[in-house]
Structure 1
Amino acid sequence: MAESGQQGAPDPGKAADLAEFIVLLGELRIWAGQPSYRVLAKRVGPLLRPARTVSPFTVVDAFKVARRRLDLDLVVGIVRALGLGEDEVDRWRKACVRVHACAKTGGPTGALRQLPADLATFTGRSTELEALLAAAVRPRADNAAATVVISAIEGMAGVGKTQLALHAAHRLVRDGRYQDVQLYVNLRGFDPESPPIDPAAVLDSFLRHLEVPAQQIPDGLDERAAMFRDRINGKSALIILDNAADEQQVRPLVPSSPSCLVLITSRRSLIELDDAVVTQLDVFDQGDAVSLLTRIVGAERVAAEPEAAEAVVEACGYLPLAVALVAARLRSRPSWSLAYLMSRLRKHGVDAVGTQPLQDVFDLSYGGLDSRTQRLFRLLALHPGQDFTAPAAAALAELGEAESELLLEYLQDEHLVQQQTPGRYALHDLLHAYASGLAQQEHDEERNAVERVLSWYLASVDAAAQQIMPARYTLPLELPPMAAVPAGFDGSAEAMAWCDQEYANLLAAAERAAGIPGSDLAWRLATSMSMYLLLRCHLQETLHVHELGLESALAGRHLAGEAWVRSNLGICLAALGRPESAAPQLTRALEVRRELGDVSGEAATLSNLARVLVESGELEAGLDCSMQALAAAGRAGDRKREGTALNSVAICLWELKRPLEALDYLHRKLAMHREDRDAIGLGLALHNIAEFHETLQQYDEALQVLREAQHIASASGDLHAEAGALFGIARCLSATGQHQAARPDLERALAVFEKLKAPELRDARELLTRITELTDDEE
C-alpha cells in the first residue's frame, strides 16, 4: 500500500471503514501539532466554498468515531487546514468517498480500537520508549514464549507515564502490530474522592467490546477473568491499564496469550506482578525539559533567552506536566519574555527554585484565566465522573453549551484539561486535586453546582428512557429550571448510544447523589436509568444504584420514591433469577402504590408481581395478580397498563396449559393497540401471538402474523423488531420443510443481529448452519 506523500502524515488509504478513517483524521490532527478545535474551526471556515463561519462543535463532531457519515467538504477543509498539499488532500477526499460507499454496502468492519489520541508534544524518553518497543517485538526465550508480554511503567504523578504508554502503543499500531484489538481503561488508582475501579466492572466492559452477549457475561470476578482470557486468546491484542492501584487490581485483567501486549502505568511499584518488564520513569533531564518547552512555545523565543529557559524548567522541577503548563501560559502571552515568566513563578517569594514547583505553576496558570474560565475550572473538580462533555460542564457552571465548549477549548490550549477523545475532557489527577481545593474555598457554590450537574444527567437520561421505551410507566420529573439544555435524542438507537458513552458517569452520578442528605436525586436517577441498565443487562449495577436509591428514599420519607425503587428492584432481582427476593420488594411497592392512590402504578406493579409468581411456579396466584392488574388499569383508564396486563394474563394462561384462552387475551391486546394506533404495542402483541402459534405448530397462522409484524417494524425503523420477525418467518418456513425459502429472511435477520450484537445471534447462526446442511443434502 502506498505511503502518505508528506513525511510522517497518516495514510488515509489504510482506512477499512468510516470509523478507521475518523481515527486517522484524528492522527492527522496530532501530526499537524494538535491545534485546538477552536483554532481549527477558524482555519477551516475560509477554506470552504463558499467561505463561512464554522462552529467548533461542527469540527469536534467530525472527529467522533461513532459518526455514521461525514460532510465531505468539511473533511477536505480540515485536511487543508492541517497543512497538507493538494495531492494529499485529493487522497483524503477519495478515501472519504470510499469508506462512505463501504458503509452503505455493509462492510468491512474495522478492528476494535479504544486508544486515546497520541500527543503532538510528546518529547524525549527515547531510551525508555525503545526499551518498551523492544520488549514488545523481540523474540523471547523458549521458557517465556508462551506467556503474555507485560510492561509496567512506574513513576510519580505528572511525570508522563500515560503519554509514554500511549505513544509506544501508537508506534506499534502504526507499524502494523496488534491490529485485532486495542483496549484502554483508566483504573483511577489514586483518585482521592473515589475508590479504584472494580476489575469486575472493567472485565464487563472489555467482554462487551469483544462482542460477548450481555446475558452470557458471568457475575463473578474469577469467572469474568476466565472468559476474558478465553475470548482474547490468540488475538493480536494491545491492552493499556492506566493508573493502576496495585497488583490485585491489575491481575484479573491480564490475558495469558503470548499474542497480547499489556502496558500498565502506576505510581506504585508492581514488583509482585510476575514476568513484568518494569520501566522506572523519573522527571526530565534539563535537555528534554527545554525541548518540551521549545515544542510548545517555539524555538525562536527559547533561543533568544536560553538561560531563562533553563531557569524556568528548573523552577518546574523538570516535571513534564509542570513544564507543559508553564509553556502553554507563555504561548498564550506573546508579549511575555521567559525572564518575565520566571519572575511570575517567583511571585510567592520562592527564591530557591524547585521548592514548590507545582503549586507555583498551577497558581500561575490559574491566575492567568479570566473569572468565568476560573470558575469553570474550579467546578470541573465537582463533576462526579472521570471525564465530561461540554454540555455536562455547562450544567455545572450554568453556561450555554457554546460558551462551555469555547472555555474548555481554552483550558485545553492552556494544558489545564485533557481531551484524549473528541468531545470528552478530563482533568489530570494533580490538576483535579488543585481545582478541588479551589472549589472547597467557594462553599456557597459547591453543592449547587453538584446538584445542577446531577439534575442535568437526570433530565438527559430520562429523555433517553422516553426514546428507549415510550410505553413505560413514566416517572414525573421535578427539576429546577436549567441553563444547560439536557441531551435530546432522535430515536432509541441514539438514546442508547448516549447512555453507552455516559454509562460510567451515570453510575458515578447515582453514587454522588446518594451522598446528598434530603435530596431525591438518588432514587430519581436510579429509576430513570433502570430501563437502559436492564436492557443492557447491567443487572448488578441496576441492583446497586437502586439499593442506594432505596436508602435515600427511605431516609427522606419519599413514599413515591420507595414505590418506584422497590418496583425496579423486584424486576432486577427477578432477572437475576431471585424471585424469592423479588416478590417482597414488589409486594411492598404495591402497598405503597395503593396507599398513595396511584392506580396506574398499582396496575404496573401487579403485572410485574404476576410474572415473578409465574417464575416461582405459583401459576394460579400469578393469574389472580394479572386479573387484578387488568382491573386496576381499567379503573385508571390507562390503556398502556391495560395492554401490559392483558399480556400478563395471557402468559399465565399459557403456563396453565390454557392456550386458546391465552390467545384470546392476546387478540384483545392486539385490537386495543390497533384502535389506539400504537405501533410499538401492536408489534409486541403480534410477536407474542406469533410465538404462541409457532409453539402450537400452527405455522401458517404464525407466518401471517409475523409478516404483519415485519411490515410494522420496517415502517417504524425498528431494526431489531424487524429482524426478530424475519427470524420467526425463517423458523416457520424451515419447520415446514421450506429451507431454501427460509434462507433470505434468515440472512437478513442475521446481518442485523450481528450488527446489534443481539442475544438471538447464536440461535440464528445455528439455524443457518442447519438449513445449509439440509439444503446440501437435498442437492
Structure 2
Amino acid sequence: MGEPYGGMPDPSQAMDLAELVSLLGELRTWAGMPSYRVLAKRTGPLLRPARVVSTTTVVDAFKVGRRRLDLDLVVAIVRALGVDEPGTARWREACIRVHGLAKSSGPVGVFGQLPGDLVTFTGRRDELARLIEAARQPRDGGVANAVVISSIEGMAGVGKTQLAIRTAHELVRAGHFADIQLHVNLRGFDPDLPPSDPSAVLDAFLRQLGVPARQIPESRDERAAMFRDRMRNRSALILLDNAADAGQVRDLIPADPTCLVLITSRRSLADLDGVSPHMIDTFSDAESLDLLSRIAGSARVAAEPAAAMRIVEFCDRLPLALALAAARLRSRPAWSLAQLADRLQAGRLEAIRAGRRAIRPVFDLSYRDLAEPLQRTFRLLGHHLGPDFTPALVAALADIPDLEAEDALEQLQDENLIRQNTPGRYELHDLLRGYAAELADADPEPDPAGPVARLATWAVATGHAASRVIGSPPLTGVPPEGAGRPMRFAGYDEGLTWFDNEHQNLAAIQVSAAQAGLHRHVWQLAAVQKEFRIARYQFDDFLAVQQRAVVAARAAGDQAAEALMLSGLASVYWRTDRLDEAEESCLKALQIYRGTVVDPCGEGTALIDYGAVQCQRGNNEDSLALFTQALELLHGEDAPRACAVALQNRGVLQQRLGRLAQAFADTRQALAIYRQLDDRRGEALAIGNLAWFHLVDADLDVAFDLYREQEHLALLLSDTFLQADALFGTGETHATSGQFDQARHAWQKALHLFEEISHPRAAQAQQRLDATATECPIPWTPTDWAAPQPLRKIEKRHETADEEQTERQGGGRSTS
C-alpha cells in the first residue's frame, strides 16, 4: 500500500471495499492505535448531526468482508483519527468509488434503475432537504430499526416525480444506497391501463435481483417474503412512482432499515404503516420565475418583470402549467411576455384552480396552440397503448412521412407533451395518454378504425420483414409491398434488434386490433413474432398473444389461419411443459387440415409439433413415426425449412433409440437444407446435435470442433440459448476426456447464460457442477441431461435401444 505523506496510507490505491477497510485499519495504526471505545467517543461529535456512536458500530467499520460502509461514519472516523480536510476528501472519494465498483461487478441483475436527472429541475430546496434528512437519519445502535418510507404527495402536475428523482440522485451521488436502486411506474392513474399488479412488480424486482424465473413463487405473499429476504442488509433505494393507493405498494416495501422507499402519489398514503408524508404544494413566486427564466430565457423575463408575474399568477404557480407556458414563449421569439399574459387572462386557464382536475386546462392550452398537423399527431397517439413509440410507428399511425413524424415528435417534446428517455424512442405520461385518447374520441378520423388499422398493417408488414431475416418462413396474406411503408432490415442482427425493442408494442397493437375487430391483423401479429420468441425463449407473455390469435382466426371464419394458429399455440404449450393443452391444440389443427382445409404442408407442420409433444411424453417410437409422416407430406417451395425441422427432430430420436447412423444421416440432411436456406440458427442447432452424436460415439476431437463452430455461430446471432448449449456440450466433452477443470469452467458459463434467459436447463448445468464438486470425480460419460445417471467410463457405443434411451434421454436439441 502506498503512503502519500507522513506514512499515512493512501485510500486512492484501494481496488475494492475490502482493501479500503484494510487501509482504514492501517490508518488507525498510523494514528497510534486508539481503542475502539475512544474512537467511538471522538467520532460521534464529528457526525452531522452529532450523535452517540456505539463501540460496536465503530468495530464493524473495520471488519473486512463488509458489503458496504456508511459514508458519513467513515468520514467521521477518518477525521477522528487526525486526518486533515484534504486527506479526508480523498477518503470520501475512495469510499464512493469502491462502492460504485462493488455495484457494477455485483450479482446478475439491473440494479441502477433510476430515471435520468432533469436539468430543468427548479426550487424545492426545503422539500429536498427534508427528504434527504429523513433518508439519512441515524441507523446505528438501534436508533432506527425500520425501513424509511417517504411519500411525496400532491396534485397532478405539481412535480412529485421530478422531486423524487432529484432526491434519489442526490443521495446516490453522496454515496448512500449504493448497492441497489430500483424504480417502477405503478400506473396508478393511467386512464387506459389498470394499475400495475404488485405481484407482477415483485416478479420484475426479483428477476432484477438475479432470481431465476422458475424460482419465483406464484403467490403475492410468497413473492413479497422473498423480496424482503433478498433486500436484507442491502443498502437499497426503491422509487415507487405514481402509486394508486397504500394497498398497491404495501408488499413492495422491504423491512430492512438499510433501505429507503420513495413513493409518489396523487392520493394520501396515510394508511400505510410507517410512512412519513411530504406534501408538495405549488411553487413560490421566486421558484416560478426561476422556471420561467430557465425555459423561456432569463433576458426576456428580466425585460418584462410585471408581465412575468402575471403569467405566474395565471398559471397558479403550477410547475407543469408554467413549463408549458414558457415552452410556448421559447418557440415564439416574436411574442412578448405581455402578449402571453393577455391570452392567459382571457380565461383559458380558469379551471387550473379546480383542485385535482386542474391539469386538463393546461393540456388544453398547449394543445390548442399547436399547428393542426401537430394536433392530429398528438390526438392519434391516444390510439397506441404500447409503452413507447418511434417516428416510424407514428408515421404509420398518422399516415405521414417518417421525417414529418420525427419533426412532429420533437415539437411535441418541446411542448412537454411527450418525453424521450431513450434516443429515438418517445413516451407519454399516464395523464397525457388519457388526454390524447379523449381528444381522439372527441374528434375522430373519417374512418374511426383507420388509425389502428394503419398501425396494425405497418406492424404486420414490418414484423414480417424482420421475421424473414431471422429465419422465419414466409407468411401468406401479408400486406403487399409498400402497404404501411414497412421498415427494411439488412440482416439478422437488425431484425432481432427490432423485435427486442418492439415486442411489447406489438402485443399492445394486437390488443388494439382485436378491440377494433381486425381479426386478420391479430393472428398475423402473432405469426410474425414466433421465431423471435423462440430465439429469445420468451413464452410466458407470448402465450396470451398466441391465444388471442386463435380467437381472432376463428372469429374471422378463416379455418386455414385457425389451424396455423392452433399449431403455433401448441408449440408454445409444449415449450412450457403444458403437454395436455399442447396435444389438444395439435389435434384440433390436424382435424381442420384433414377436414375442410387441404394443406399438406400445414398438416406436416402440425404433425411436427404433435411429434414434439409425444417426444416430451417419452413416446419415442410414436414421435418418430409422426416426424416420418410429416416428411411424407412436406413438399413444395415453402416446405424445405419444415423438412429440416422434421429431419433434425427425427435425428434426435434416432440417437435416443440407439440408431446412431440414422441420427447422423437425418441431421446432416437437415444441416444441408439449413445452409441452403441461409438459416443460421437452424444451422447452429444442427451442428450442436452433430457434436453431441460425435461425443456419444467417443469421437471427441470432432465434437470439440463442432461445439466451437456452434458457439461461433451463436455469438454471431447474439443467441444466448445457443451459446449456452454449445458451452454445455463443450463441458460434456471436456469431462469425457477427463479435463474436469475445463468442464466446470464451461458449465459455469453455460449456467450463467441459461439463468439469464430463465431456461430450465440451468438446473442441468448446476447438476453437472454439483456432480463434479469433489476433488477426485469419477470418470465421466454423457448422461441424461434432465437427470444424470451414475458416471462411468465412456467407450464406443453398442448398447440396446432401451439402454441408449435411458442413458441419453434429452440429448440433442429439437427445433420445431
Q: Is the 1:686–1:705 Cα contact (8 Å) retained in structure 2?
A: no
Q: Deviations over 1:565-597 (max 9, x none)?
A: 212221222233221121111111122334332
Structure 1 distance, partners of 2:143, 2:454, is 54
Greater CA drift, 664-673 or 244-253: 664-673
Structure 2 distance, partners of 1:144, 1:496, is 53
Q: For residue 457 of structure 1, what is the amino acid of its counterpart? A: A
Counterpart residue number, 1:580: 580
Q: Deviations over 1:465-514 (max 9, x none)?
A: 3344x1x4443352266686545555555544443433432332222122
Structure 2 distance, partners of 1:691, 1:272, is 60
Q: Deviations over 1:672-696 (max 9, x none)?
A: 55677765434322322333454x4
Rg bigger for which structure? 2
* TM-score, scaled to structure 2: 0.73
Counterpart residue number, 2:24: none
Q: Is the 2:109–2:209 Cα contact (8 Å) retained in structure 1?
A: no
Counterpart residue number, 2:540: 540
Counterpart residue number, 1:39: none
Q: Is the 2:688–2:726 Cα contact (8 Å) retained in structure 1?
A: yes
Report the 3-state secondary structure (helix = DSSP H, G, I; strand = E; otherwise coil) of the residue aligned with 1:113.
Answer: coil
Q: For residue 382 of structure 2, what is the amino acid of its counterpart? A: A
Greater CA drift, 341-350 or 482-491: 482-491
Structure 1 distance, partners of 2:778, 2:599, is 61
Structure 1 distance, partners of 2:431, 2:759, is 42
Residues 1:428 and 1:645: Cα distance change in structure 2 (over 3 Å): closer
Give the CA deviation at 1:718. Answer: 3.9
Structure 2 distance, partners of 1:653, 1:122, is 67
Counterpart residue number, 1:431: 432
- Please list every run of 5 or more consecutive structure 1 residues that lacks an aligned counterpart in the other structure: 1-15, 17-101
Q: Deviations over 1:335-355 (max 9, x none)?
A: 322221122123458789847
Give the CA deviation at 1:222. Answer: 4.2
Report the 3-state secondary structure (helix = DSSP H, G, I; strand = E; otherwise coil) of the residue aligned with 1:705.
Answer: helix
Q: For residue 616 of structure 1, what is the amino acid of its counterpart? A: R
Structure 2 distance, partners of 1:231, 1:494, is 37
Give the CA deviation at 1:606. Answer: 0.5
Q: For residue 456 of structure 2, what is the amino acid of its counterpart? A: L
Residues 1:150 and 1:600: Cα distance change in structure 2 (over 3 Å): farther
Q: Is the 1:178–1:237 Cα contact (8 Å) retained in structure 2?
A: yes
Structure 2 distance, partners of 1:488, 1:665, is 35
Structure 2 distance, partners of 1:585, 1:462, is 24
Q: Deviations over 1:346-369 (max 9, x none)?
A: 345878984796455434322332
Residues 1:578 and 1:301: Cα distance change in structure 2 (over 3 Å): same
Give the CA deviation at 1:701. Answer: 2.1
Q: For residue 304 of structure 1, what is the amino acid of its counterpart? A: A
Greater CA drift, 148-157 or 762-771: 762-771
Structure 1 distance, partners of 2:468, 2:300, is 56
Counterpart residue number, 1:608: 609
Q: For residue 263 of structure 1, what is the amino acid of its counterpart? A: L
Residues 1:297 and 1:652: Cα distance change in structure 2 (over 3 Å): same
Counterpart residue number, 2:468: 466
Report the 3-state secondary structure (helix = DSSP H, G, I; strand = E; otherwise coil) of the residue aligned with 2:308.
Answer: helix
Q: Deviations over 1:625-644 (max 9, x none)?
A: 22211211257772221121
Counterpart residue number, 1:519: 519
Counterpart residue number, 1:35: none
Q: Deviations over 1:373-428 (max 9, x none)?
A: 22212212222223222222222222333322222122222222222333322223
Counterpart residue number, 2:709: 711
Counterpart residue number, 1:162: 161
Greater CA drift, 490-499 or 416-425: 490-499
Report the 3-state secondary structure (helix = DSSP H, G, I; strand = E; otherwise coil) of the residue aligned with 2:325.
Answer: helix
The counterpart of 2:458, out of the listed 456, 459, 462, is: 456
Counterpart residue number, 1:684: 685
Aligned pairs (5 A) from 1:196-275: 196-275=195-274
Greater CA drift, 363-372 or 115-124: 363-372
Give the CA deviation at 1:211. Answer: 4.0
Give the CA deviation at 1:750. Answer: 7.5
Q: Is the 1:395–1:482 Cα contact (8 Å) retained in structure 2?
A: no
Q: For residue 390 of structure 2, what is the amino acid of its counterpart? A: T
Structure 1 distance, partners of 2:233, 2:485, is 46
Q: For residue 285 of structure 2, what is the amino acid of its counterpart? A: Q
Q: Is the 1:395–1:456 Cα contact (8 Å) retained in structure 2?
A: yes
Q: For residue 279 of structure 1, what is the amino acid of its counterpart? A: H
Q: For residue 192 of structure 2, what is the amino acid of its counterpart? A: E
Q: Is the 1:292–1:323 Cα contact (8 Å) retained in structure 2?
A: yes
Structure 2 distance, partners of 1:257, 1:496, is 41
Q: Is the 1:184–1:242 Cα contact (8 Å) retained in structure 2?
A: yes
Report the 3-state secondary structure (helix = DSSP H, G, I; strand = E; otherwise coil) of the residue aligned with 1:192.
Answer: coil
Structure 2 distance, partners of 1:348, 1:370, is 21
Report the 3-state secondary structure (helix = DSSP H, G, I; strand = E; otherwise coil) of the residue aligned with 2:191.
Answer: coil
Mapped pair 1:476 → 2:476: yes
Structure 2 distance, partners of 1:769, 1:337, is 75
Report the 3-state secondary structure (helix = DSSP H, G, I; strand = E; otherwise coil) of the residue aligned with 2:334.
Answer: coil
Counterpart residue number, 1:365: 366
Q: For residue 710 of structure 1, what is the amino acid of its counterpart? A: R
Mapped pair 1:440 → 2:434: no
Q: Is the 2:537–2:757 Cα contact (8 Å) retained in structure 1?
A: no
Aligned pairs (5 A) from 1:652-663: 652-653=653-654, 661-663=662-664
Q: For residue 433 of structure 1, what is the amino acid of its counterpart? A: G
Give the CA deviation at 1:162. Answer: 1.0
Greater CA drift, 256-265 or 213-222: 213-222
Mapped pair 1:549 → 2:549: yes
Mapped pair 1:420 → 2:418: no
Residues 1:232 and 1:592: Cα distance change in structure 2 (over 3 Å): farther
Q: Deviations over 1:517-569 (max 9, x none)?
A: 24322222122233334554443322222222222222221223312321222
Q: Deviations over 1:23-66 (max 9, x none)?
A: xxxxxxxxxxxxxxxxxxxxxxxxxxxxxxxxxxxxxxxxxxxx
Report the 3-state secondary structure (helix = DSSP H, G, I; strand = E; otherwise coil) of the residue aligned with 2:421.
Answer: strand
Q: Is the 1:706–1:725 Cα contact (8 Å) retained in structure 2?
A: no
Structure 2 distance, partners of 1:398, 1:131, is 50
Q: Is the 1:317–1:357 Cα contact (8 Å) retained in structure 2?
A: no
Greater CA drift, 532-541 or 443-452: 532-541
Counterpart residue number, 1:560: 560
Q: For residue 686 of structure 1, what is the amino acid of its counterpart? A: I
Structure 2 distance, partners of 1:674, 1:340, is 70
Counterpart residue number, 2:320: 321
Q: For residue 614 of structure 1, what is the amino acid of its counterpart? A: C
Counterpart residue number, 1:279: 278
Give the CA deviation at 1:164. Answer: 1.0
Q: For residue 532 of structure 1, what is the amino acid of its counterpart? A: F
Structure 2 distance, partners of 1:477, 1:352, is 51
Residues 1:226 and 1:540: Cα distance change in structure 2 (over 3 Å): farther
Residues 1:178 and 1:262: Cα distance change in structure 2 (over 3 Å): same
Q: For residue 703 of structure 2, what is the amino acid of its counterpart? A: V
Greater CA drift, 427-436 or 333-342: 427-436
Give the CA deviation at 1:166. Answer: 1.0
Q: Is the 1:691–1:702 Cα contact (8 Å) retained in structure 2?
A: no
Task: State the identity %.
Answer: 42
Q: For residue 411 of structure 1, what is the amino acid of its counterpart? A: L
Structure 2 distance, partners of 1:482, 1:174, is 50
Q: For residue 328 of structure 1, what is the amino acid of its counterpart? A: A
Structure 1 distance, partners of 2:374, 2:351, is 31
* TM-score, scaled to structure 1: 0.76
Give the CA deviation at 1:163. Answer: 0.8
Greater CA drift, 298-307 or 716-725: 716-725
Greater CA drift, 651-660 or 548-557: 651-660
Q: For residue 449 of structure 1, what is the amino acid of its counterpart? A: P
Counterpart residue number, 2:378: 377
Q: Is the 1:378–1:439 Cα contact (8 Å) retained in structure 2?
A: yes
Residues 1:316 and 1:349: Cα distance change in structure 2 (over 3 Å): closer
Q: Is the 1:518–1:555 Cα contact (8 Å) retained in structure 2?
A: no
Structure 2 distance, partners of 1:770, 1:272, is 52
Greater CA drift, 762-771 or 492-501: 762-771
Q: Is the 2:703–2:733 Cα contact (8 Å) retained in structure 1?
A: no
Structure 1 distance, partners of 2:349, 2:236, is 48
- Please list every run of 5 or more consecutive structure 2 residues that lacks an aligned counterpart in the other structure: 1-15, 17-100, 780-816
Q: Is the 2:605–2:642 Cα contact (8 Å) retained in structure 1?
A: yes
Give the CA deviation at 1:306. Answer: 3.1
Give the CA deviation at 1:236. Answer: 3.1
Residues 1:273 and 1:560: Cα distance change in structure 2 (over 3 Å): farther
Report the 3-state secondary structure (helix = DSSP H, G, I; strand = E; otherwise coil) of the residue aligned with 1:562.
Answer: helix
Greater CA drift, 639-648 or 745-754: 745-754
